[in-house]
Amino acid sequence: MAGKTLIKLNGISISFGGVHALQDVDFEVLEGQTLCLAGENGGGKSTLIKIISGFYRPDRGTIEIDGKQYSHLTPKQAINLGIQVIYQDFAIFPNLTVAENIALSAERLDGRKTVNWKNVRKRAQEALDMINVKMDLDAILADLPVASKQLVAICRSLLQNARLLIMDEPTTALTKNEINSLFKVIRDLQKKGISVIFVSHKLDEVYEVAEQLVILRNGKKVIEGPIREFDRKRFIYYMTGREIESETFEAKNIGSEPVLEVRNIGIKDLFADISFKLYAGEVLGITGLLGSGRSELARALFNLEKIDTGQIFLEGKELKLSSVKDAINAGIAYVPEDRLTEGLFMPQTISRNMISAVIERNLNKAGLIDNAGVKERSAEWVKELKVKTPSTELPVQALSGGNQQKVVLAKWLSTKPKVLILNSPTVGIDVGAKADIYAYTRRLAEEGIGVIIISDDLPEVLDNCNRALIMKRGRLAGEFETSEMNETRLADILAEASGKGGAA
């Protein structure tokens, strides 16, 4: 049960280069309360976190903790007051052990000049016991899954006497089972009187873990209240400022012959005996837990992974792919799982990124890039995909996650594909950008493109695919029409294969 006020923000405002990042934001967090801070990318959530943690100094407003007002906090003050932030990268040391990651910072803050290794292990074990988690203290962090790294970051915060734990998009890289484990930890922390600010735009998770909701849009608090007062429609409206209707996809013009056919393909230790057909005009989902082989299959279809066995046919003709360029020329496009490292050239302009897969089609007679033509075509894609940017000549890294993903989509649609493979297409994307991408994907199917969505986001598969395949441990384990499946039943099916591993 939430107690007295722990932290209260009053009129927090800050600008960068004359642009208002936050304007008069105020709300409070009670002891033992989990508050969801929601909003689309670029809404001001990250800026507010940095003010609370002392990284930024606000232009106006105050921060009140335990009844004492501060015009601003320094990072050291924030830590001493019990404020801890767990960012998406967790700020861990991958080359150190679990015990070292958890306890060394606390040892350092205690002012110790030498390390008492026995005490390090003791303190690390105590922190793990606080959240009822068992973990090998000597395991190297780099060898552990993302969920374990996150738990280590939480334990480290607890050793530094955390009273307010701020978690920035904590479930982005977690499976459903790992998310459930994290929520249990959060509920246990609440019982100990620790407050949590849970930063997210995933509606289902917010309803499961939060008690109070604050929504930011364009740097302003647009609404606040108990989570029970917000149904899905109301939540989305305040997040985006527009009505977004959720509709289940129905393929209307499915071709009679497969545009893509896969026969018994396999890669040693990754997957085996995969066969399926994709028809023009449909959206086929492929789902499975982490380690099921779903992403490896997606990469193999684009020749990023070389198949050892089997055959791939496009429009009835067998493909003999020796490179990614061969896949592109054949009419296959692939939107990768990680847009930052695989999908975009971050310092390059939006326009250059959009034509990066078809540079040879954008050269003038002198063999140089036709900059005027590139700008014209990229402006058309910006309009077509509703990319929010004042100029296509800005570096793509200046865009929000959702707009970056639209740039990746434009890049591959520029190749005029017959088959479009989308691997986890909406990870880290806010609800408005998701709706835009889903709507455009359906439009592509209606225009006759065969679309594959690889995802472990069950609502994404059920709402946006007409048919789906289930992968377990590197093999196909089932096929279903999405109209005949519900989320609970599908989650139960996937949970049966919670173990990790490739094909035998």
Q: What is the arrangement of strands in the sheet containing 332-335, beginning at the earlier edge strand? A: 332-335, 419-423, 450-454, 283-287, 467-472, 475-481
Check whether 39 has a pLDDT greater than 90.
Answer: no
Rounded to whole angstroms, the Cα distance separating 14 from 21 reads 6
What's residue 408's pLDDT?
A: 96
- The H or E element containing residue 383 is helix 371-385
- The H or E element containing residue 412 is helix 401-413
* Averaged pLDDT score across all residues of the chain: 89
What ranges do the domains of the chain cover? 5-240, 248-331+417-504, 340-415
- Six-digit token pair at 374? 């590139």
Rounded to whole angstroms, the Cα distance separating 162 from 68 reads 18
Q: What are the residues whose beta carbons fall under 8 Å from the beta carbon of 419, sequence distance 6 or more?
A: 259, 260, 278, 301, 314, 331, 332, 333, 449, 450, 451, 452
Check whether 18 has a pLDDT greater than 70.
Answer: yes
Backbone angles phi, psi at 399, to 5 degrees: -85, 160
Residue pair 86/153 in contact by the 8 Å Cβ criterion: yes
Q: What average pLDDT score do residues 45-55 get?
A: 94
- Six-digit token pair at 219? 């740097």
At residue 467 the predicted structure's pLDDT band, cuts being 50, 70 and 90, is very high
> Is the whole-model pTM more than 0.75?
no
Which of the residue ranges 175-179, 216-220, 368-372, 498-502 would you say has the lowest mean pLDDT? 498-502
Percent of the chain with pLDDT over 90: 57
Helix (H, G, I), strand (E, B) or coil at 8: strand
Rounded to whole angstroms, the Cα distance separating 461 from 306 reads 26
Q: How far is CA 257 from the centre of its chain?
A: 35
- Residue range 248-331+417-504 forms a domain whose CATH class is alpha beta
Q: For domain 5-240, which architecture applies?
A: 3-Layer(aba) Sandwich (3.40)
Residue pair 254/280 in contact by the 8 Å Cβ criterion: yes
- Six-digit token pair at 32? 């033992």
**Any idea what DSSP says for residue 163?**
S
In terms of C-beta density within 10 A (0-12 exposed, 13-18 middle, 19 or more buried), how is residue 5 classed?
Answer: middle
pLDDT per position as a tens digit, 86-118? 877 677 888 999 999 998 877 666 666 777 888
